[in-house]
């Protein structure tokens, strides 16, 4: 696992035709797909795999908010930069920025909360994150604490003023 005080760039793809809507740009649902895949890559990065899932549990995304900032066209090369905003014994808070082509300004962002869940007798319940994931999260959290946080984190959806 590479450890750095920079956001993690661990997911990228080329926008396929089937991600494009009637407005000729990436449809909103596929931004969600991109961010979900980025979260999965983050989990793999910290050591989450099929053995861990079988022995200790999994992660559910329990909250997420996407900010759509610019259009993305078919064929664009997109990638995410991921910051571990915070974590505790059961939760991981991530911030993903999505970039297109060589643009240095995000085209979208997502803030998400992941919950560690164990399933006993078919019933899911929140449970502590186990090793080696817990230690890896602690190391990344320490490094990422040096990264400036966007001022909109935790704000939710803006209300329409009347």
- Quick one: which H or E segment has residue 42? helix 28-45
Residue ranges and CATH numbers for the domains of the chain are 8-144 (3.10.129.10)
CB neighbour list of residue 123: distance below 8 Å, 6 or more residues apart: none
pLDDT in tens, 74-116: 999 999 999 999 999 999 999 999 999 988 999 999 999 999 9
- Residue 131 pLDDT > 70: yes
109 compared with 155, residue with greater pLDDT: 109
pLDDT of 23-64, one tens digit each?
Answer: 999 999 999 999 999 999 999 999 999 999 999 999 999 999
Query: What Å distances lie between residue 98 and 70, 80, 127, CA to CA?
Result: 10, 4, 30
- pLDDT surpassing 90 at residue 157: no
Q: Residue 138: helix, strand or coil by DSSP?
A: helix
Cβ neighbours of residue 27 closer than 8 Å, sequence gap 6 or more: 19, 20, 21
Residue with tokens 């080329």: 14
């Amino acid at each position: 696992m590479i450890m750095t005080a920079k956001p993690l760039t661990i997911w990228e793809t080329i926008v396929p035709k089937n991600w494009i809507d009637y407005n000729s740009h990436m449809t909103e649902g596929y931004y969600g797909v991109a961010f979900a895949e980025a979260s999965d890559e983050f989990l793999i990065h910290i050591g989450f795999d099929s053995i861990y899932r079988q022995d200790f549990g999994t992660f559910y995304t329990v909250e997420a908010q996407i900010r759509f900032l610019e259009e993305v066209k078919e064929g664009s090369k997109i990638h995410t930069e991921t910051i571990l905003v915070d974590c505790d014994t059961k939760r991981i808070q991530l911030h993903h920025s999505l970039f297109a082509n060589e643009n240095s300004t995000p085209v979208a962002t997502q803030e998400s909360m992941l919950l560690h869940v164990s399933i006993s007798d078919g019933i899911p319940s929140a449970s502590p994150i186990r090793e080696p994931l817990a230690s890896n999260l602690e190391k990344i959290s320490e490094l990422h604490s040096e990264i400036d946080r966007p001022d909109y984190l935790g704000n939710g959806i803006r209300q329409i003023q009347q």
